Amino acid sequence: QVQLAESGGGSVQAGGSLRLSCSASGFTASGSCMGWFRQAPGKEREGVAAISPGGTMTYYGGFVRGRFTISRDISKNTVYLHMNSLKPDDTAMYYCATDPGPCGGGWLENPLSPLNWGQGTQVTVSS
């Protein structure tokens, strides 16, 4: 059974940083595309970042603009999202997601694509 457990969310001021973690179990994380999506109240879910099974390729939503970095530690079955220069617009529930195999075209752009989701971790950025 696929399980994804997010942690690391919290409240920060604008300009601050957070590191989100997604601990995976119940499947071969090293063979799976993994990523982060977010959803703010009243808005549609959107893709934030994704990383290929081997960690060699990363993908980002256009709004990231160099502020976020996704990485994975295969030995720990964990994916991280390092977020810098946070803005109030980054306030949202952040969800970890995964699918077996490579990150296919459009996986990050289509929030309906992933089959497996975590419960989410809240990020709140104050001005």
Q: In the predicted model, what is the mean pLDDT of residues 3-13?
A: 97
For residues 111 and 84, what is the distance between their CA atoms, to the nearest angstrom? 23
Q: What is the mean pLDDT of residues 15-29?
A: 94
What DSSP designation does 64 have? Answer: T
**Among residues 43, 47, 80, which one has the least CA distance to residue 61?**
47
7: nearest Cα among 78, 77, 66, 71: 78
Q: Report the pLDDT value the prediction gives residue 103, as an integer from 0 to 100.
A: 93
Average pLDDT over residues 45-69: 94
Determine the pLDDT at residue 28: 81
For 69-90, what is the mean pLDDT?
96
User: 18: alpha, beta or left, given left = phi > 0 and alpha = psi -120 to 50?
Assistant: beta
pLDDT higher at 111 or 82? 82
CA distance 72 to 35: 10
